[in-house]
Structure 1
Amino acid sequence: MKRILGLLCLSIFVPVHAETFIIDAKHTLPIFEINHLGLSTQRGRFNETQGTIELDQKAKKGQVKFKIVTNSIDMGQPEWDAHMKSPDFFNTSQYPEVTFESTHFIFEGEVPVAAEGTLSLLGKSRPVHLSIQGFTCGENPIVKKPVCAANIETQIKRSDYGMTKYLPGISDEVHILVPVEAFRQDVIPQTAPE
């Protein structure tokens, strides 16, 4: 009995290890914005993503691995989609994925507010800084499962990755926004909520 009580007491004081979260692809759709001919801001998005997040808020550590399927690009118009998939831009037949892998997180208290890592696009890898806004964890009210969410922002120059077609008419600077929702790995719902 004493041994059991001792084990129970010990378990109370064992530090919480990193938890793994799986990206909810239905609610994690990256959006990008570019300036078009100095006239307007044009937006596109990607409809297929995969990824994992490991997070230990007590230890202030984490890691993200994230993949975008380039052929899922959606500009809202089939002809435009086809052009964006061509060698002029994402060259999806040769480069089917864009990937991001973090090197470390930046925390304020126990809340992640930024991440540093490597973005790989068109066969080139460059360091990027991600701003993490509105990070929160709780229970999804529909499926009653633990979920974490945030809004991610960054800005890159497409020329850094060799995407130079139509510069400077189509801006070099690309603003990227990614709303992220991720379920804890051990409680992933069979059907993602709407």
Structure 2
Amino acid sequence: MKKLLALALAAGFSLSAFAAPETFVIDGNHTYPRFEYSHFGYSTQVGRFDKTSGKIVIDRAAKTGSVDVTIDTKSVDSGNDTFNSHLQGADFFDTAKYPTISYKSTKFNFSGDKLASVEGNLTVKGVTKPVTLEVTSFHCAPHPMLKREACGANAVAKIKRTEFNAGKYAPAVSDDVTLTFAIESIKE
């Protein structure tokens, strides 16, 4: 009987070690989604959003997870207040009608122990399309100042803005947009 109880306890501990999803809250002070596009072929313009929130759940042992991110479209920052107002208008983000952009994952893909990509759905201006984020870096470690586990990542994706009803001036102003995400999160 003692052996059976010991075996059951050992099995319970070993199973709990494998099933360990962890939830991380996005750190809005260190998370900045950016977008890049060609401006009439003259230059590559870059903008960002200053307010992002959401959660990341990851089970590194099971190689699964989820991402649920919300971006405040009114926080768009091109470096120019007049152009920010233009971007918030109906031709682009239409922030009065669509105050947020969201990304909800459907699958995490690993290469060995490394997170390689995240498949999910991007919603911009009420249009939802599948978008895969290629993860260029992913790192989890104790945060030196907060003394809690933290995870950070960089990811990139390419979209066509006309597919999200934001295609004003395309193709002169490039339809192709590169999305770059710098994300940091703190364990709940």
Shorter-chain TM-score range: over 0.9
SS at match of 2:85: helix
Where structure 1 has 5 or more consecutive residues not aligned to the other structure, the ranges are 186-194
2:132 to 112, 124, 129: 129
Instruction: Show the counterpart of 2:13.
Output: 12
Instruction: Show the counterpart of 2:63.
Output: 60
SS at match of 1:13: helix
Instruction: Show the counterpart of 1:39.
Output: 42
1:33, 1:58 → 2: CA distance?
A: 35
Scaled by the length of structure 1, what TM-score is found? 0.89
Aligned-residue sequence identity (percent) comes to: 38
- Any residues of structure 2 matched to 1:41-190 within 5 Å, and which? 41-185=44-188
2:167, 2:57 → 1: CA distance?
A: 35
Describe the superposition over 1:119-165 as per-residue Cα deviations: whole angstroms up to 9, x where unpaired: 00011100111001111110111222110111011010000111121
Decide which moves more: 5-14 or 64-73. Answer: 5-14
2:145, 2:26 → 1: CA distance?
A: 17
Q: CA deviation at 1:176?
A: 0.7
SS at match of 1:26: coil
Instruction: Show the counterpart of 2:28.
Output: 25
Scaled by the length of structure 2, what TM-score is found? 0.92
Instruction: Show the counterpart of 1:191.
Output: none
2:11, 2:187 → 1: CA distance?
A: 25
Amino acid corresponding to residue 13 of structure 2 in structure 1: I
1:37, 1:146 → 2: CA distance?
A: 44
SS at match of 1:81: helix
Instruction: Show the counterpart of 1:189.
Output: none
2:124, 2:137 → 1: CA distance?
A: 27
Amino acid corresponding to residue 17 of structure 1 in structure 2: A
Amino acid corresponding to residue 65 of structure 1 in structure 2: D
Count of matched residue pairs: 183
2:122, 2:143 → 1: CA distance?
A: 30
2:140, 2:167 → 1: CA distance?
A: 39
